[in-house]
Amino acid sequence: MTDQGIEALGLRQSPEGGALIIDGKLVSQSVLADVAEKAAVLTARGMRPGLAVVLVGEDPASQVYVKSKGKAAESCGFHSIQHTLPVETPQADLVALVEALNRDPAIHGILVQLPLPRHIDATKVLETISPAKDVDGFHPVNAGLLAIGDIERALVPCTPAGSMILLQRAAKALKIDLAGRDAVVVGRSNIVGKPMAQLLLAQNCTVTLAHSRTHDLPAVVGRAEILVAAVGRPEMVLGEWVRPGALVIDVGINRVPGTGLDAQGRPKTRLVGDVAFAEAAKRAAAITPVPGGVGPMTIAMLMSNTLSAATRIAG
């Protein structure tokens, strides 16, 4: 494929050569543009997609993330509302708000920002969300639909859904068929690892779900033609573990010490993934960077899920 064709898929050649870099920013922009176009059609037919985000407390990272979600929803032409509740909000009040949003015909997607304060049972709250409006894909009904392979009816968690799009773009650029490939997912969380394994199975990959207690993890990773790292440990997967020619999706976002001081005199930090990028990029065929890889796709897929939910509710 020509360089122009590769760039059109959201990939670029690394300046140092080696792996193609899978640019999540570019791919997310194309996803958001497609969502906005389809949302405009739905709105013209009398149903404007609606997203409600609920934030409890004043966690700075959550505030930034919720703000980004609101901006993305508005850019897609959605009806977007945010409920910001004090940290001491009783669980019963939060549940009552979610139940009211379930009944609101103008709202098609409900997202309760995690983490919640310690006095609130997050599982109880997430299970209160109507499965049809569960745009995070965390409700047991959606998890069950994904587990049985009914992806058409499931709302898939945003990060693995976005990771799969990036993987498919890379496979297309490299003219690789995913079916039958040996895929290894490192990390078994309900939010990323397990649903990612289900999505890979749906692509007819042969999937191994590895984790912190896997025996001889380097050997397991080393046989992966497709590697998804989602364990939450900075640069745990060493470059020398990566199989030459592998497709590598690095879901991890870890903040580690940097060099020097910032404008306020505090030690600088930097973001790294779960994969030692510089060395892995010398061996992989394609790899996502951190930042700028999977991260931008998460919000894009939230918008896509909201559109899907509105479309299904509209019939």
Tell whether 140 and 197 lie within a shared domain: no
Any domain includes 311: no
Same-domain status, 127 and 184: no
Burial level of 248, CB count in 10 A (0-12/13-18/19+)? buried
Q: Residue 16's pLDDT is what? A: 64
Domain count, the chain: 2
**Cβ atoms 204, 180 nearer than 8 A:** yes
Percent helix, strand and coil across the chain, each rounded to 5?
40, 20, 40
Is residue 65 in a domain? yes
User: 168 and 125 in one domain?
Assistant: no
Q: Are residues 256 and 196 in the same domain?
A: yes
Same-domain pairing of 217 and 142: no
Q: Which two tokens stand for residue 188?
A: 């078994």
Q: Are 17 and 286 in contact (CB under 8 A)?
A: no
One domain, residues 60 and 189:
no
Would 42 be classed as within a structural domain? no
Strand 286-287 relative to strand 20-22, pairing: parallel
Q: Are residues 218 and 118 in the same domain?
A: no
pLDDT of residue 8: 87
Q: CATH no. for residue 224?
A: 3.40.50.720
Question: Is 144 found in the same domain as 74?
Answer: yes
Catalytic residues: 69, 113, 136
Q: How far is CA 135 from CA 51, 126, 288, in A?
A: 9, 11, 24
Distances (CA, A) of 216 to 2, 24, 212, 219: 39, 31, 10, 6
Q: Which of 152, 185, 218 is the last residue of a domain?
A: 152
Q: Which of 118, 152, 186 is the last residue of a domain?
A: 152
pLDDT at 261: 82
Do 292 and 197 share a structural domain?
A: yes
Residue 238 has which token pair?
């060493």
Give the C-alpha separation, 258 to 147, whole Å. Answer: 40
Report if residue 106 sits inside a domain.
yes
Looking at the domain assignment, is residue 215 inside a domain?
yes
Q: Residue 3 corresponds to which tokens in the numbers above? A: 């360089």
Q: What is the pLDDT of residue 266?
A: 85
* Within a domain: 270: yes
Say if residue 163 is in the same domain as residue 289. yes
- Residue span of the structural domain in which 264 resides: 156-296
CB 165, CB 23: distance < 8 Å = no
Has residue 40 been placed in a domain?
Answer: no
Question: Is the same domain home to 111 and 143?
Answer: yes
- Whether residue 309 lies inside any domain: the answer is no
Asked if residue 83 and residue 54 are part of one domain, the reply reads: yes
Query: Which CATH number goes with the domain that contains 123?
Result: 3.40.50.10860
pLDDT, position 265? 83
pTM summary value: 0.94
Last residue of one domain, picked from the residues 119, 152, 185:
152
Find, among 197, 181, 209, 277, the residue nearest to 237 by Cα.
277
| First and final C-alpha spacing in the chain | 39
Q: pLDDT tens track of the chain, all 315 residues? A: 777 788 888 988 877 668 999 999 999 999 999 999 999 999 999 999 999 999 999 888 888 889 999 999 999 999 999 999 999 999 999 999 999 999 999 999 999 999 999 999 999 999 999 999 999 999 999 999 999 999 999 999 999 999 999 999 999 999 999 999 999 999 999 999 999 999 999 999 999 999 989 999 999 999 999 999 999 999 999 999 999 999 999 999 999 998 888 888 888 889 999 999 999 999 999 999 999 999 999 999 999 999 999 999 988
